[in-house]
Chain A
């Protein structure tokens, strides 16, 4: 029988706060973290975002970084979340030397690039950030700071990066290639992504309304989250928070940025995740949907959900209204939320919802709901057609 891969630690920083507890408290209080940009310097201050309200300088101070460090914001957020995960799992400094690290990032340190791009030719002041825009740079900075020395890599599949990192980690443990691996993702708010999504006209000027008939776009967010995955022989003496039971990855192969109306990729990813998990679709108690609140994603995802859960779609919600869409970190943030759902037998509400979509009639959960939760499906879909679904279960 598939027991899945043990999760022995987790850590998170998002617009909801620093740490698992702060995030949980906000989730159960239906308290979103959506505000206007203050730390991100942009002219588009009217777009609501899920911003972590701590400046880089304060993050650097908290981490006691030296003046010569080259950590950009995504690395700083990543270090904080990974540290919490390491601590909660009780991984020692010595164990980190053989621990793997798989991180998802879409734009890495492009916040530094956009700040210094026009200066590089003129001054040597910030040349340490020249390679920062490439996702691996951020991963390496986090690994260096925490002295993680095992197999290290970066997945960059846009908004499904974090979920893919969790999937790869689980597969490497199952295959016996790694005994312990830290998996997740990090992305920060940048002018580059805000302007990019604005040019695509998919940013909402209101708080996002996932799965609502009147939804009109997403709110960007930022954050980082990591899980510690361990092989059975290491996990057996630890508190196991939950398990990565299934995963599926497929490509929508429809359009570079838009999802197909029928959600081919989403359907296949969910189907494969159920197959790996070895459970029937009706076993799923809660779906943490991708639910970005764009017209396109929510329709496509709804159609895929209806297709895979033919008789009745299980309780579902998108938590993007809490955190904003944190791109590569989204799948990792939502993995933490999925585990919290399993641990507490709670389903977190889909905020700002009022009217079901005409095309689907689907009703997400809109109030905190207490019920037995044994299996959670978490969806992450991205540009490039990259679709990933994960299934988390209790440790039973």
Chain B
């Protein structure tokens, strides 16, 4: 992989807004499941169409339109989507009716909109984009898979002007609440901002959509360079450190060259041990940031950290609410995002100031 890739447009919908994070007025939630803040969807999607859309479709399509407007692109060449849990609301609707009506009198709308590629397909349909279109659904590495494909694609086809890549996941009533049953969510209801002070198992969850316009053309006003993305297996914290160091060295960097490391800590006692170890071993002198106390944990939430990184580069400002340590970073150039996808699966994304 050799070509330089730039992020030239961003669109995000989450439980926070740019204003809430950068003006230090984070939105506070008191349930372990909370929803994204809806923009005025009607500004982006005709009202007639909106009525039939689940939250994932609305959020995905709107984030796409925000990113394209921001990049001043009308029609992308490719659309690559990541979604860990797809269209849960429609799945739940169809599944619920199928079970309660004992396979009788079912209408197809929710089935049609239940497939994991619904959002990717709806984006293509809405934009009239017949280009390359793939949806990845690899649990917490779904967006990373989409990013890996987009880097590959831009290297294969230098002629492409615009690759739209992003992630989306939604909250649904029943399926999301199953998180209380299998240990994914904390048993006790907590306030999101206190996520890292509860020493208990489980996390908090929400939803969102994050889309990015990528191009190999160096535009003056690009947000960031997408230097590299990798997802890898590692069994122990030592192996994780080694693999991260290897990843950095492939990109001609050492851990100490990083200005910021964005950690995917989610407040789960067990999982956070991996992050704690990294904080003390390879990143003790790096400005450490966390974000899931603002966004909640969900499969494509690293999109939130990419979006924040783009804004940090642009605004040259690091909101205090993100900081895990007191190491300053006045003019950050290299940001590493590290996220734990499962006990043995990990992902890293390297962003550089253009």
Contacts and interface: CB of A to CB of B under 8 A. Distances in A.
A110 B137 CA distance: 14
Contacts of B304: none
Given A156-B115, A251-B79, A383-B121, A133 B91 contact: yes
Interface string B300-318: 0000000000000000000
Interface in A260-300: 264-265, 268
Nearest to A127: B182
A171 B85 CA distance: 26
B237 to A, nearest CB: 17
A67 B216 CA distance: 51
A134 B139 contact: yes
A130 interface: yes
Given A135-B137, A137-B139, A171-B152, A199 B342 contact: no
Contacts of B129: 251, 253
Given A168-B149, A251-B79, A196 B84 contact: no
Contacts of B98: 114, 191-192, 195
A289 to B, nearest CB: 20
Contact of A156 (B107, B116, B149): B116
B266 to A, nearest CB: 16
Interface in A125-142: 127-128, 130-131, 133-137, 139-140
Nearest to A260: B130
Contact of A199 (B99, B106, B118): B106
Contacts of A254: 125
A118 B233 CA distance: 35
Interface in A367-396: 382-386
A113 B232 contact: no
Contacts of B120: 157, 384, 386
B136 A106 contact: no
Contacts of B83: 156
Nearest to B235: A149
A175 B124 contact: no
B102 interface: yes
Contacts of A191: 98, 103
A155 interface: yes
B137 A384 contact: no
Contacts of A1: none
B106 A265 contact: no
Nearest to A128: B182
A194 to B, nearest CB: 8
Contacts of A171: 152, 156
Q: State which size class the interface on B falls in.
A: 35 or more
A110 B106 CA distance: 18
Contacts of B132: 249-251
Nearest to A176: B1
A120 interface: yes
Contact of B117 (A158, A195, A200, A250): A158
Contacts of A257: 108, 112
B29 interface: no
B155 to A, nearest CB: 7
A344 interface: no
A58 interface: no
B22 to A, nearest CB: 33
Interface in B164-207: 174-175, 178, 181-182
B170 to A, nearest CB: 13
B352 interface: no
B125 A196 contact: no
A386 B114 contact: no
Contacts of B211: none
Contacts of A124: 181
B128 to A, nearest CB: 5
Contact of A384 (B94, B108, B121, B345): B121
Contacts of B1: 175, 177
Given A149-B233, A383-B121, A253 B103 contact: no
A239 interface: no
A386 B121 CA distance: 7
Contact of A383 (B117, B145, B231): B117
Q: Which 3 A-B pairs have the closest CB atoms?
A: A384-B121, A196-B111, A156-B116
13 contacts: A105-B137, A121-B181, A135-B137, A136-B84, A136-B138, A156-B136, A192-B111, A199-B106, A200-B111, A255-B125, A384-B115, A385-B133, A386-B117
Given A151-B232, A154-B137, A385-B125, 8 more contacts: A43-B103, A114-B99, A136-B138, A156-B115, A172-B152, A195-B103, A256-B121, A384-B133
